[in-house]
Amino acid sequence: MSSTTPAGGIAALSQAFSAGRLTPTEALEQSLAKIAGKDPVHRAIAERNTDDARARAAASDERWRRGAPLGPLDGVPVTIKERLSMTTMPRTYGSLACTPTLPAQNEPSVDRMLEAGAVVVASTNVPDFMGTASGVSTRYGVARNAWNPAWNTGGSSAGAGSATALGYAPLNLGTDIGGSIRVPAAMSGVVGFKPSFGRVPFWNVYFGRVAGPMTRSVEDAALAMRFLSLPDARDCFAMPYQDLPWTDLDIDVSSMRIAVCTDLQEGKLVDPEIVAAVERAARVFEAAGARVEAVGPYLSHDYVSQGQAVFQAANRWTAVHDDPIVTDLDKADPQLLRSVAGTESRSAVDLIRSINMVIPLVRETCALLDAYDVVLSPTIGFLPGPAESTQLEETSRHAIFTRPLSAAGAPAVSVNCGFSAEGKPIGLQIAASRWEDLRVLRAAHWYEQHRGAEATPDWSVLD
């Protein structure tokens, strides 16, 4: 048997299992060894699932030996964000304020992975209560960027972004309600896909919240969606199931009408290196015959920092005060606690006004998405800062390109489109109208194949 996990992602791993060059147990042990070697520095992992993973890998070994695998994910190592419940790993929301508690049931996305034969290796690190766009966790330590541990990972799927780039597993599940998959994907140079709201069933459903894949390639993210999108009756907001050809990623971009937006709202500064990288990406589409049009700021008001400020603070406040596993709030991240201080004194009228401001945000966002096949933008407006920063002071800048799409329930993916002069990854966000998930993935896959060496991560540096 080979001692090295094949390069090339899930398909190569599955082919190695089929040919007998590698077993799921060997792949799992390689994943665990990589975590043991790298995670003391990068802190991408929250909880390990070693005993359960070894039992599932052994069962997968036998299925492959008999020539009866459950499918292409059988035996493939996977990590899940600590936010996603699995009955074999305690939930803590990344905070010392919480008593570690085993969930009563698995999250639907976790069940879909297990039913497909995937082997869940570990859960990944999150900031306290998933409340900041960083990897600052009081319980698990600071998650650090795969490319340089001094840099921030973004969040809140912080560990998932770093784990993906470091190659801990070919598939890593995150969650996103305002950019929590896409932001760490951008800062880690990986693919992070936020499906349409309702596409992937969720147990603890909340409007805009989705689970989605973080991978090194669009191909792997699309394959994961084949399973993640399967129906589950526990989600009352889930859309009717569609059996889409997720792995058919061919697209003719020459017939596409594409918008490129690098300035969503006046006064929200975007780093010049990010603007330049996104504009280069747009020219790649244009050179292939796509009709590319630059669009200026389309939001008439600062909904993200004004309209959603009260709403987000209220959401954070209830997260840190109302969950029964919260037992010692004084141990939570003090910056997070300061950010929600006084929220309980706001009136119901304030909250309703905040919610009502989301409606024009959604209308204006959908108007842009509906006018084009896809919209290109930066994923995030600034480059990774220090790892120890919660980035709370950058809330409006980190969310300006991602949060409107979450409010609209639209699909969006972040794919690497370059590196700064310091070598920091830069994410290109590709979005489309709600339910056009496959179009987004196809456009991202096409770009991934044509982006050039200067925008393509060299994974051998991290492996």
CA–CA gap between residue 272 and residue 426 (Å, rounded)? 11
- Residues 285-315: tens digit of each pLDDT: 999 999 999 998 887 766 656 666 676 777 7
pLDDT band at 391 (very low <50, low <70, confident <90, very high): confident
Q: What pLDDT was estimated at residue 3?
A: 38
DSSP for 261-318 reads: -S-SSTT----HHHHHHHHHHHHHHHHTT-EEEE-----SS-IIIIIHHHHHHHHHHH
- 215 and 279 in a single domain? The answer is no
pLDDT at 99 over 70: yes
22 within domain boundaries: yes
Q: How many CB atoms lie within 10 A of CB 16?
A: 23
- CA dihedral of 16, 21, 27, 33, whole degrees rounded to 10: -140
248 within domain boundaries: no
End position of a domain, from candidates 228, 261, 290: 228
363 within domain boundaries: yes
pLDDT at 398 over 80: no
**What is the identity of the amino acid at 462?**
L
End position of a domain, from candidates 179, 211, 228: 228
Q: Which of 4-18, 201-215, 240-254, 440-454 bottoms out in mean pLDDT, i.e. has the lowest?
A: 4-18
- 192 and 263 in a single domain? The answer is no
Of residues 197, 89, 214, 108, the one with CA closest to residue 158: 214
* Mean pLDDT of all residues in 171-192: 97
B/e letters for 212-242, b = 16+ CB within 10 Å, e = fewer, are: bbbbbbbbbbbbbbbbbbbebeebeebbeee
- 194 and 113 in a single domain? The answer is yes
- 271 and 219 in a single domain? The answer is no
Q: What pLDDT was estimated at residue 170?
A: 98
Instruction: Please tell me the number of Cα atoms within 13 Å of 6 on its side-chain side.
Output: 19
341 within domain boundaries: no
- 206 and 257 in a single domain? The answer is no
CATH number at residue 372: 3.90.1300.10
Task: Please report which residue ranges of 43-147 form alpha helices under DSSP H.
Answer: 50-65, 108-115
End position of a domain, from candidates 212, 228, 244: 228
- 81 and 197 in a single domain? The answer is yes
Q: What pLDDT was estimated at residue 317?
A: 83
Of residues 121, 117, 140, the one with CA closest to residue 130: 140
Q: Which of 69-78, 382-391, 446-455 bottoms out in mean pLDDT, i.e. has the lowest?
A: 382-391
- 292 and 358 in a single domain? The answer is yes
Q: For the chain, how many residues are written? A: 463
- 260 and 222 in a single domain? The answer is no
Q: Give the mean pLDDT of the chain.
A: 93
- 69 and 131 in a single domain? The answer is yes
Which residue carries 């036998």 as its tokens?
Answer: 62
- 224 and 264 in a single domain? The answer is no
73 within domain boundaries: yes
319 within domain boundaries: no
Q: What pLDDT was estimated at residue 303?
A: 64
CA–CA gap between residue 213 and residue 172 (Å, rounded)? 6
pLDDT at 135 over 80: yes
Distances (CA, A) of 76 to 34, 62, 232, 441: 15, 14, 22, 22
- 272 and 206 in a single domain? The answer is no
Q: What pLDDT was estimated at residue 4?
A: 44
- Residues 353-374: tens digit of each pLDDT: 888 888 888 999 999 999 999 9
Residue 442: give the domain boundaries: 253-303+349-461
177 within domain boundaries: yes
411 within domain boundaries: yes
The percentage of residues in the chain with a pLDDT greater than 70, rounded to a whole number, is: 94
- 216 and 282 in a single domain? The answer is no
Which is more confidently placed, 8 or 181? 181
**Contact call for residues 35 and 50 (beta carbons, < 8 A):** no
What is the total count of domains within the chain? Answer: 2
**What is the identity of the amino acid at 86?**
M
